[in-house]
Each structure stands twice: as structure tokens, then as C-alpha cells.
Chains A and B, each alone.
Chain A
Amino acid sequence: MKLVVAIVRPEKLSEVLQALYRAEVRGLTISRVQGHGGETEQVETYRGTTVKMELSDKVRVEIGVSDHFVAPTVDAILAAARTGEVGDGKVFVLPVEKVYRIRTGEEDQAAVTPVEEVVAH
């Protein structure tokens, strides 16, 4: 099992989610974060005050996947989140020691494998 952590541009989030959906990656968590990856700072002016925004808004996507899903997950994110300019973000793949599914108590591989009968909304 691996934990895939991706930091992407907020405006690319929808495309990333779509790509993950097409790659049949289900189950993820996102959070709004701020960070700096060497991109050009935005300059904003409010009345006479000019500021350089050192931190840009980013979205952090976390996905727990079984090993054979790592490559499709990473490929989907790389393809969907890329604009080619500095500030596109990073993808980290981390080893995971243990996973539990809270509802059933299932562990590891079983815990990150989606259940079949997904209730559609």
C-alpha cells in the first residue's frame, strides 16, 4: 500500500478529479493548503500598499492505494495537473505501514479496495 500525496493548482482540481475517476481511483481526501514552489509571486495592490503573495493557494490530494494502483494514480495526476509552468505542484508516494477501514475493521489491502456496491447519489 502507498499513500499518494499530490499538491496541485486549485484551478486544475476538477481535471485531476475527472482523470482519477476515469482511472477508476475511488476514495480520496482533499484539503485547501497554501504553499510556495518557486513560482513567480502574484503582486497585488490595495490602495497604496503593494504586496507580493509569497504563498499561493494549492490543493492537497491524498489517496491511499494498493501497490498496483500507484502507477495509474500518479499518471492520471501528472497528466491532468500539468500546465507546463512553474507552480504545477508535486506528487509524493509514501509507504504506508497500516490501514484500517473504520466501518468494518478491515485492514491493509482490503481496507483500500473499494467496496463493490457503491451507492450512487
Chain B
Amino acid sequence: MSAPDTAWMLVATALVLLMTPALGFFYGGLVRSKNSLNTLMMSVAALGFVGVSWAVLGYSLAFTAGNPWVGDFSRAALRGVGLEAQGTIPHLLFMAYQGTFAIITAALISGAIIERMRFGPYLAFITLWGLFVYAPVAHWVWGGGWLAKLGALDFAGGTVVHINAGAAALVAALVLGPRRDFARQAFLPHNVPFTVLGAGLLWFGWFGFNAGSALAASPSASLAFVNTMLAPAATLVVWTLLDLRRSGKATAVGAATGIVVGLVAVTPAAGFIGPMAAVVLGAVAAFPSYYALLWRARTRLDDSLDVVAAHGVGGTVGALLTGVLASKAWNGATDGLLYGNPRQLGVQALASLAAIVYSAAATFALLKLIGAVTALRVGSRDEGLGLDLSQHGEEAYTRGEGAILVLPHEIAPVAATSAVSLPIAEGGAA
């Protein structure tokens, strides 16, 4: 047990947890104001629902021996997870740190289904997804599962988090179908500063995500930390230049997106590649995501906030480039293609493909299951009114004019669905 390592991992856990509300702001700024609270809530809710399900069952399914595909129930409800050492930090802290990953991975998917999914089924979906999709894939790569044995490199979750969420997002967008006004109306971001703020906070939290994945206050953590600074910087530069070349203007939404794509791409590579390789990785990763975004906008796929382009494509590019750029001189264990080990690239490709196939299939099954019990989408009236009012009974930007205080004895029993209505007062209409 090491006190410095424990201190760093305590901080890193808090940093990663901050990424989920940050994601809420990143996403929330990109939607229309009438759906902004709903979008934020989709991230915030994951903190609770996935956080609890992780402690109850998810951790056990991911990080116990079990079989190559999934762990077992031996650590369910944190049985036997105490203050004893797991590596050099307390086992309990390790569990909490890994829990923050499960939370944000589930929240990432929300970007593909915003502005149309009912909140109740969404809660059921992310809770089940954290258990039946995230936990097994985490087990494959980090819990001693088959991809770990194969030697797949995933420092901080390129496959487990980003490819996994990206594939789920693609399927979720297809199962839910496009928004009512998709391709008929322009959907403009209602608060671009929120999006930039979210990207900034995501970058900050990502130092915990990547450097924390060393699980120690070590040289490896420093390498991951520096790479987490340099790769997104390079992506931001290339993204800005691509923007300038395409339209003559460097956009703020583009900058925020570029930062996130760079962070996604460096995630699997963070502790395995040298700093200049990180610059190259970040720069190269800008291209596929940039053009995937432009291509997606011309299709009927309503992956509303481009989770597939940013996380699916960015994560896959990062995972493959890890197999190219990994250097034993920096990580002390494995070389990539560039240093004479072509097998690594094949392993990376196989790991990415496996995650895509499993995540897509399991996500499809979960959504169909929930959809068989209850409707996944809001009605078209509620969609027009906005999900803030119809799902949460709140507005993000209310002026308060015409608001009449309802006294406790006047409150009618709350109906379970959509907007609640009180009996209309007698009186003339305008």
C-alpha cells in the first residue's frame, strides 16, 4: 500500500467524476433550450443510477475472475471490497475509480438519443447497460478477460469506454429513430459557451481519467498526463485548420469537438506512446472524425450530438494508432507496428471489432426489451413542447411571468406521464 499512490487516486477519482456533469454541459449547450435540462439530466442521472448499480453488481461482473467473458457475483454488494490493498491502493478506492468510468460511459450514449427519449426508459436503459454491456467489456480488457490475455492495449478505455459507447450510440439512434423535425428544421445549439465550458472541464477531468489509469503516482502516470495535454492540443490545431480550409472560419463548436476527439483518441494510448507520438496521434485522429461528422450530417442517421463520429470513430482510430505507435522505450512492455511488432495492430483491430459487435448487439437487445414494456419515445406533442417541460416539469430559462403559486392543498395527484395539468380555472378565454 502506498500513501502517494492513494493520494493521487483519490484526486483522480474526483476528476473523472467531474467529467460526467461536464459532459452534461458539453451536450446541453448543443441542444435547443427547450431540451437543455433533459440533456443535462441524462448525464446527471447516470451519476446516481449507474453509480449505485456499479456498487451493487457492476464491479463484481467486471473485476472478478469469473470466466474470460464476464466476472462472477463474488464481489456483489461490495462483499470483500474493503481497505486491503489492490495493487498499491485500497481496494475500495480502486472500485470507486472504476465506477466513475462506468458512469461516464453510459452517459456518453445519451448524445445519440437526446430531444426524444422518455426519461424513465432512459434510466432503465443506462442502468441495465452499465451492468450487461459496460461491465463485461471492462472485464474483457481490464478484469483478466480474453482481450487482456490476448494482449490488447487499452490504457484508459479507448475500447472499453469510447468504442463501446460509440457503437451503443449508433444502435440507440437507429432504434429510437430520428427526431420529428430531423432534416426538416435546423437544430441550432442554444448555448455554445456551455459546450466550450463542458469541453474545458472534460479535458481537466481527463487528466484523472488517463493519468489515473496508471493506478499510481508514477512515471507512467506522468507520461499519460503529458500525452493527455499534447494529443488534444494537436487535434485542436488540425481541427481549426480544417475548419479554416472548409469555411474560412474557425468555429467554437468545432474547437470544443476537436478537443474531445483528441482526448478520446489518446485515451487507449496515453501510457504506451511517447509525447511526440501523441502529437502525431492527435493530429491524425482529427481527420476521420472531422469527415465522419460532415458525412453523418448528410444522412438520415440522427446521432444527434455525433457520439459515433467523436467516440466511435475517434476511439477506434486511437485504439489502432496505439497498436502502431506503442513504444517499449516509453512503456517498458510492448512495441507497436512502427517499432517492429505488427501483431499488436492486429490485436488492437480485433479488440475494437469485438467491442463494436458485442456493444451493438447487446444495446439493441436491451432497447428492444425496454421498448417491449413501455414506449421509448415521447409523443409528438411533448417533443414539440420540449422535454424539459414534458419530462421534468421545469424550464432552463424561465422568466417567471405569469407564474401563479400553487398552495399545497391545491396540488392535484401527479399523473405519471408527461406534463401534469391542473383543472382549468373557470373564466373567459382571451
Answer yes or no: B372 CB below 8 A from chain A CBs.
no
A41 touching B429, Cβ below 8 Å: no
Given the known interface contacts A11-B385, A12-B384, A85-B381, the answer about A43 and B403 at a Cβ–Cβ threshold of 8 Å is no
A109 within 8 A of B: no
User: In the complex, which of the residues A11, A38, A54, A90 contacts B404, with contact meaning CB atoms closer than 8 Å?
Assistant: A54
User: Which residues of the other chain, A, contact B404 by a CB distance below 8 angstroms?
Assistant: 41, 51-54
Which residue of B is nearest A13, CB measured? B185
Known: A11-B385, A51-B404, A55-B402. A46 touches B419 (CB 8 A): no
> What is the chain A residue whose CB lies nearest that of B421?
A40
* Of B148-156, B329-337, B390-398, the one touching chain A: B390-398
Cβ contact within 8 Å between B406 and A52? yes
The residue on A at minimum CB distance from B380 is A83
Stretch at the interface among A19-27, A29-37, A67-75, A97-105: A29-37
Contacts A14-B185, A44-B395 given: A36-B402 contact, CB under 8 Å? yes
- With A14-B181, A51-B406 as known contacts, state yes or no: A37 contacts B430, CB within 8 Å: yes
Contact of A38 with B419 in the complex, beta carbons under 8 Å: no
Interface presence of B294 (CB below 8 A): no
Q: Is the CB of B402 within 8 A of A53?
A: yes
Interface string of B400-411 (1 = CB under 8 A from A): 011111100001
Point out the residues of chain A lying under 8 angstroms from B421, CB to CB.
Answer: 40-43
**Beta-carbon nearest neighbor of A83 in chain B:** B381
| Chain A residues in 8 Å Cβ range of B170 | none
Residues B402 and A45 in contact, CB atoms below 8 Å apart: no
C-alpha gap A9/B386 in the complex (Å): 12
Q: Is the CB of B394 within 8 A of A46?
A: yes
Chain A residue at smallest Cβ distance from B384: A11
User: What residues on B are CB-neighbors of A52 within 8 Å?
Assistant: 403-404, 406, 422
Contact, CB under 8 Å: A55 / B405: no
Interface residues of B in 414-430 (CB under 8 A from A): 419-422, 424, 428-430
Q: Which of A36, A53, A83, A90 is the most central at the interface, judged by chain B CB atoms within 10 Å of its CB?
A: A53
A55 to B381, CA, bound (A): 18
State A53–B394 Cα separation when bound (angstroms).
Answer: 11
Q: Interface size (A, Cβ < 8 Å)? A: 27
B405 to chain A, nearest CB (A): 6
Give the distance in Å from the alpha carbon of A85 to the alpha carbon of B384 in the complex: 13
Within 8 A of B (CB), among A43-102: 43-46, 49-55, 83, 85, 90
A residues in contact with B429, CB < 8 Å: 36-38
B149 to chain A, nearest CB (A): 52
Q: Is the CB of B381 within 8 A of A38?
A: no
Are A45 and B185 within 8 A (Cβ)?
Answer: no
**Complex-state Cα separation, A46 to B361, whole angstroms:** 40
Residues in B whose Cβ lies below 8 Å from that of A35: 430
- Residues in chain B near residue A40, CB distance under 8 A: 421-422, 424
Chain A residues with CB under 8 A of B107: none
Shortest CB-to-CB span from B145 to chain A, Å, is: 45
- B422 and A41 within 8 A (CB): yes
1/0 per position for B315-342, CB-CB distance to A under 8 A?
0000000000000000000000000000
Partner of B419 from the list A11, A43, A49 (CB cut-off 8 Å) is: A43
Quick one: closest B residue to A45, CB to CB? B393
Of chain A, the residue at the smallest CB distance from B386 is: A11
Decide: A44 and B384 in contact? CB cutoff 8 A.
no
Nearest residue (CB) in A for B420 is: A43
Complex Cα gap A46–B394 (Å): 7
Give the shortest distance, in Å, between A74 (CB) and chain B (any CB).
19
Assembly CA distance A85 to B184 (angstroms): 23
A45 and B412 CA atoms in complex are apart in Å by 13
Provide the residues of chain A in CB contact with B403, threshold 8 Å: 44, 51-54
User: Once the chains are docked, how many angstroms separate the CA of A39 from the CA of B381?
Assistant: 14
Cβ of B231 within 8 Å of any chain A Cβ, yes or no, is: no
CA distance A99 to B248 in the complex (A): 42
In the complex, besides A51-B403, A83-B384, 8 extra interface pairs with C-beta distance below 8 angstroms are A12-B384, A14-B184, A36-B402, A37-B429, A38-B430, A44-B398, A51-B404, A85-B381
What are 8 A-B pairs with beta-carbon distances under 8 A?
A11-B385, A14-B181, A36-B402, A36-B430, A40-B422, A43-B419, A43-B421, A53-B403
Closest 7 CB pairs of A and B: A55-B402, A38-B429, A11-B384, A54-B402, A51-B403, A40-B421, A50-B406
